Homo-oligomer: A and B are copies of this chain.
Amino acid sequence: MTKKMFASDNNSGIHPAILEAIAQANDGHVPAYGSDLYTEAATRKFKEHFGESCEVAFVFNGTGANVTGLKAMVRSHQAVICTDGAHINADEGGAAEGFIGGKLLTVPSKDGKLTVSQIEQHLHHIGNQQRSQPKAVSISQCTELGTVYTIDEIKELTRFAHENGLFVHMDGARISNAAAHLGCTLAEMTVDAGIDMLAFGGTKNGLMIGEAVVCFNKDLASELKYIRKQGMQLGSKMRFVSAQFERLLTEDLWLENARHANHMAQLLAEGLVKFPEISLAQPVESNAVFASLPRTKIEQLQKEHSFALWSEERDEIRLVTSFDTEKEDIETFLADVQMIFS
């Protein structure tokens, strides 16, 4: 089946250049567990993007990347502040609480973003032994609602966090889409903006399997490899994850893929807002479109198309584009929308 879905960028396959990189890495024996030249090369690429002093640990999936990074930052009696819709809170099956053995302190968010004043709310009990002590903030870039923090917004958060003794973690499952939207480098949005720890997403942007933990804070880097192993995220034939990343970060493939997906989301949104019964629930800043439309129309569309009913209460759907979404997919979808509204 080659039909494209708008259900998730996880439903997409492997970008051809990435698959080619895997095949090319399949050459004889190399040391396992990361002591190979492919991993060295991929690490070098990360350093080109993020600076020489970053530490990189390749892992299997987004949950693994997030939780490995968070565990390096907090102990079990400490807490991570995030939005209640953050992937680490809502969609990772208790992995953070389980592996860290501690608490997430959440705040509600309409646009998926966390604010300084929301962080502040959770700082009232610093020093109170009855309370888990906030030690880190986690933000998602892009957010789970497809919105993108500006660089200034990130800097404001990291400044406040650091002033209050908190590390800042970024869930960058879709970080490339955010960079494409902002038109900035990967570094400008992360290490230069004060981020301490990044989960760098690969899978949603054309990889087969692979995410990376990128640590910008020297104090947090030394234990990362042990945390990764205990978290069951150390791959034996690591070269095949590394080779994917090496390719993704070469010749701006990461950016090209993300730009394309974002562009497809723009086209989709532009098409949808032409219908008076459809309204966008969030600004379209990455590769996701959140839109509200009458429930009966949603149900008609679902017969032919695959996408998520995001909110039953608000009759809101989520449409996600990916590196392989084609203009024709958008047109087909919009044509079907046209049909059900006519």
Contact = CB atoms under 8 A, between A and B. Distances in A.
A4 interface: yes
A129 interface: yes
Interface in A1-28: 1-5, 7-8, 10-14, 19, 22-23, 25-28
Copies assembled: 4
Given A232-B64, A232-B231, A234-B63, A131 B93 contact: yes
Residue among A25, A63, A204 with most chain B CB within 10 A = A63
Contacts of A163: none
A33 B209 CA distance: 12
Interface stretch (A98-106, A149-157, A187-195, A248-256): A98-106
A257 to B, nearest CB: 15
Q: Which secondary structure characterizes the binding site on chain A?
A: loop
B232 A67 contact: yes
A226 B64 CA distance: 15
A95 B232 CA distance: 7
A280 interface: no
A332 interface: no
B102 A229 contact: no
Interface in A49-104: 60-64, 67, 75-79, 90-95, 97-99, 101-103
Nearest to A64: B232
A233 B233 CA distance: 8
A229 B77 CA distance: 8
B240 A209 contact: yes
A328 interface: no
Contacts of A93: 77, 129-132, 226, 229-230, 234
Contact of A237 (B10, B31, B102): B10
Q: Which 7 A-B pairs have the closest CB atoms?
A: A2-B28, A93-B229, A10-B32, A10-B236, A77-B226, A94-B132, A64-B232
20 contacts: A1-B27, A1-B28, A7-B29, A23-B23, A61-B234, A61-B235, A64-B232, A77-B223, A77-B229, A91-B131, A92-B229, A93-B131, A93-B229, A94-B102, A97-B101, A98-B99, A99-B232, A129-B225, A129-B229, A133-B226
